[in-house]
Amino acid sequence: MSIVGLVVLPDQTPLQHLQSICRLAAALAPNDAKQKDLLSVELSYEMYDADNHLYEAADALTRHLPAHRDRDLFWVTDERGHRHLILDGNWWDYIPNPTFDPIAKAGCLEEMFSGKRSSMQVMADGMRNVEPLQLRPEYLQRDRRIERMDAQMVRAALMYPTLASGIEEYARENPSLIVDILWGFNRWLQEEWGFAHEQRIFATPMLSLVDPDWAVKMLEWSINHGCRAVYMRPAAVPTAMGYRSPADPIFDPFWARCAEAEILVCIHLGESGYYRQSGDYTGRYRRHAFSLSPFEHVYLHGRAITDFLSAMVLQGAFTRNPRLRLLSVENGSDWFPFFVESCRLYYQRYPADFPEDPMEAIRRNLWISPYWEDPLPELAATLSTSKILAGSDFPHAEGLAEPTDFVKSLTGFNEDDQRMIMHDNLKSLLGV
């Protein structure tokens, strides 16, 4: 799960103590954030980044919320002056610091993911890993983000929300509320960021299939406002009729319209609710992303995206919609060889039970933006270089402080293949 807007010290409970620590850190080290940003990798071309993020302003979820929903989603202030959200009658603890102020420094966990330092060592630096949000207007404003992209040699980027990625799971028992919140959020997103700002920032409206008819209407509205890509989470769909597979034929009108309009469907890591499954083994049924046990790390790793793709491939959604373009983002890729091998094994045993050769569907419909620390040559050998997109996860803590540093992970590729991954593949998908 994404670690955003916060740093957790090893001897503290995130929800109780995190924000006071971050506020102290912001007061102690504001000047450090003003240091000049320098590129550590110099490319001869600009990058197309498949994984950038914005941080939502305080009114992102409420500006266009229908009046009758003002008791279903609202802000409260606790006795310490910290602001929190109440969603569907519950304290929404998806992100302990929903105001994102102060914010974790971009890429501050890179040394942990590269294996250079342990998680305990990195987390112990918590007070030095945050900065006041006011120092980073590019996280909130599109024109300032363009300036930042110029400095980073990023020509264009898919821009995903952060806080909003938890809405569908936390309101799963109230599908009509999900519809109302996402409708309002997407209007805010279009107003503040646009869906194709200067043909460089491609903000992704959040789509849910909880109401199939609404999903098509929301998609049509997004297309009419210049949308090139949409954001969906990897999970079964909590409809009013109960949970449904995303590959259920009732959703085919949505998938068909995405294919017809050449909309890139980005299946981005989000809260998918799998803690409710691991809870049968652990007894912990509530989300607790910052204190996962080794069992939970292994059990949950790659599960949501593998299950989602298994449905789309093996239940025939890709076969029925052969022009659909689906991009897996921030789900990693080390699960992919096992997924492919499982498909091959069972197709060899029971070919008549499959809608088509699963590898044909995968190679035709799927693209992947992997983690920079993944075994990328293995991914290329299994999928193809033309289907891999570089994504930095900027400016999240676990991403890259400089997006072009992704090329450091491509030492096993020749220069032409590096350019495909860093530039050509996403440029082609966006049609720019």
Residue 8 has pLDDT above 90, yes or no: no
Secondary structure (H, E, C), 66-133: CHHHCCCEEEEECCCCCEEEEECCEECCCCCCCCCCCEECCCCCHHHHCCCCCHHHHHCCHHHCEECH
Residue pLDDT, tens place only, 109-164 = 877 766 777 767 766 665 578 999 999 999 999 999 999 999 999 999 999 999 99
Enumerate the domain spans of the chain. Answer: 46-70+141-430
Cα(265)–Cα(247) distance, integer angstroms:
14
Beta pairing partners, 394: 52
Mean pLDDT computed over 184-203 = 98
pTM for the structure as a whole: 0.89
Residue 285 has pLDDT above 90, yes or no: no
DSSP string, 173-205: T-HHHHHHHHHHHHHHHHHHT-SSBTTTEEE--
- CATH architecture, domain defined by 46-70+141-430: Alpha-Beta Barrel (3.20)
Report the largest interatomic distance among the alpha carbons of the chain, rounded to a whole angstrom: 65
Residue pLDDT, tens place only, 230-283 = 999 999 999 999 999 999 999 999 999 999 999 999 999 989 999 999 999 999
Residue pLDDT, tens place only, 328-387 = 999 999 999 999 999 999 999 999 999 999 999 999 999 999 999 999 999 999 999 999
Q: Could you give the count of Cα atoms lying within 13 Å of 328 in the half-sphere of its Cβ? A: 29
pLDDT given for residue 109 in this prediction: 85
User: Omega into 395 within 30° of 0, i.e. cis?
Assistant: yes
Residue 11 has pLDDT above 50, yes or no: no
